[in-house]
A = this chain, B = another copy of it.
Amino acid sequence: MKRLAVALLATTALATPAFADELMDEAVDYFKPLPSTVPAVADNPITEEKIELGKMLFFDPRLSASGVFSCYSCHNLTTGGDDNLETSIGHGWQAGPRNSPTVLNAVFNVAQFWDGRADDLKAQAKGPIQAGVEMANTPANVEATLNSMPAYVSMFEAAFGAPDSVSFDNMARAIEAFEATLLTPAPFDAYLNGDAGALNDDEKAGLQLFIDKGCIACHAGINIGGEGYFPFGLIEKPGADVLPEGDRGRFAVTDTVDDEYVFRAAPLRNVAVTAPYFHSGKVWDLKVAVQIMAESQLGEELSDPEADQIVAFLGSLTGTVPEITTPVLPAETATTPRPTAEVLPQ
C-alpha cells in the first residue's frame, strides 16, 4: 500500500530547525507536530478505496432514519469539524446531551467521546447513527440502505476485498479511514518542526504561560489534549451552568466513584474555531473558557494579558483543513428503505 501524504503539511514544515530557541526546546518535550502521512489505526489498514468510500458515507444523510442528518451535519467540515451548537440538534429536534467535538485530528485522541467510551473512530462512528436523539437508525436498516444501491455494494467490495462486504462494521471502518485523513497542520506544527518565526511574540508568550502555569499537565502531546482523563473542577468546581450536575462524565463508563465528573481533556487543535466550549457547550468565549480552566483545574487567577496571550497561542493551533470535494452519492433504488421523521419511544 502506498503512503498517503498529507499534502498541506509540506508547505508549512521545515526539514531542519532554523531558529531554534529555548522555548522551542521546551515545547518539543511536551508536544508533537502532526505527521506528514495518514496515521495507521488499529485493525483497519487505510487504503484509498476505504477513504473514498468513507468520505461518501460521512456525507450520506441516508445513514440517518430521517434522511436529514449525516456525520457531516454535526461534524461540519466548513465550521471546524463540529457544529458550533451548545449541543447538537438531532432526530425529532431533540438536543444531544453533550457538545459535538471536532472530527479534525480526532484520530490522535486516546479514545472517542467526551467520556472516552469508544476506543477509536470506528467504534465512535456507530454511536450517533444509532442514538435516538441523533440519527436514530439501526444497523440492519443501514445495511439494507447500503445494499440497496449497487454502487455502494461495489465500493464496499473494492474496499474490503470480498463479496458481501456491506456491513455496519465495515461502514464504520471506512468512515474511520476517511476521518484519519482529516489532519490540519497549523502554525504551531511549523514551530515544533523548527520554524521559530511561525509564532509571533504574543503566541510565544502564551505558549510559555501554557507550559509554566501547568496547562500542559492535561493538554499535551500531538493533539494538545485528548490523551487522558481528568476531573473537571480538580481545584474548584465550576458552577452548574458550566458543569451540570446530572452529567457525571466517565462515571457512566467505568461506574467508579473516582471517575465522577471526569472527562477526557479536550484536544485543543482548532479550538479557536470550535466554540462553544466544554462538554456542556455553555461557554462561547475562548478567553472565558481559558479563565475557567485556570481557576477550576489549576487554582490560578490569570491576569487579563495572560489570558489574552494564552488565547493567542491557542489561535496558532488553527490549521489548514484538507481540500475536500463533495462526493456524488448513488441514487436510491426501489429497495432503499424510505426515510421516516417519526420519533419512536426509546
Interface residues of A (CB under 8 A from B): 56, 59-62, 66-68, 73, 76-80, 83-86, 89, 92-93, 95, 272-273, 275, 284-285, 321, 323-329, 331-332, 334, 338-339, 341, 343
Pick the residue among B61, B73, B77, B275 that contacts A332 (CB under 8 A).
B275
Complex alpha-carbon distance, A77 and B83, angstroms? 19
Interface of A is mostly: loop
Q: How far is the CA of A174 from the CA of B85 in the complex (A)?
A: 26
**Chain B hits for A84, CB < 8 A:** 61-62, 67, 332, 339
Q: Given the complex of chains A and B, what is the CA–CA distance between A80 and B334 in angstroms? A: 17
A-B contact pairs, 17 of them (CB 8 A): A59-B78, A61-B83, A61-B84, A62-B79, A66-B89, A67-B85, A68-B73, A68-B89, A78-B326, A79-B331, A80-B331, A85-B339, A89-B341, A95-B341, A275-B331, A321-B328, A326-B326
Q: How far apart sit A73 and B76, CA to CA, in the bound complex (Å)?
A: 12
Asked whether B89 lies within 8 Å of A76 as measured between CB atoms, the reply is no
Please give the distance in Å from A288's CB to the nearest CB on chain B: 10
CB within 8 A of A284: which of B86, B273, B327, B338? B338
- Across-interface contacts of A85 in B (CB, < 8 A): 66-68, 339
With CB as the reference atom, state the residue of chain B lying closest to A274.
B331
Query: Do A78 and B327 form a contact, CB below 8 Å, given A84-B62, A95-B341, A332-B275?
Result: yes
**Smallest CB separation, A283 vs chain B (Å):** 12
A276 to B, closest residue via Cβ: B338
Let me know if B329 and A78 touch, CB within 8 A.
yes
| Cβ-defined contact, B334 with A285, below 8 A | yes
* A327 and B67 alpha carbons, distance in the complex (Å): 23
In the A-B complex, list the 8 residue pairs whose CB atoms are closest, starting with the nearest: A93-B93, A273-B331, A78-B329, A324-B326, A59-B78, A68-B89, A77-B326, A321-B328
Known A67-B85, A68-B85, A326-B324: A76·B61 in contact at CB below 8 Å = yes
- Interchain CA distance A162-B285 in the complex, whole Å: 31
> Which one of B86, B275, B329 contacts A79 once the chains associate, using CB atoms below 8 Å?
B329
Give the CA-CA distance A213 to B326 in the complex, in Å.
Answer: 38
Q: Which residues of B contact A60 (CB under 8 A)?
A: 78
**Chain B residue nearest in CB terms to A270:** B331
Residue of B nearest to A88 (CB): B68
Please name the residue on chain B nearest to A95 by beta carbon: B341
List residues of chain B with CB within 8 A of the CB of A68. 73, 83, 85, 89
* Cα of A67 to Cα of B99 in the assembled complex, Å: 14
A66 neighbours in B (Cβ, 8 Å): 85, 89
Determine how close the nearest CB of chain B comes to the CB of A97; give it in whole angstroms. 15
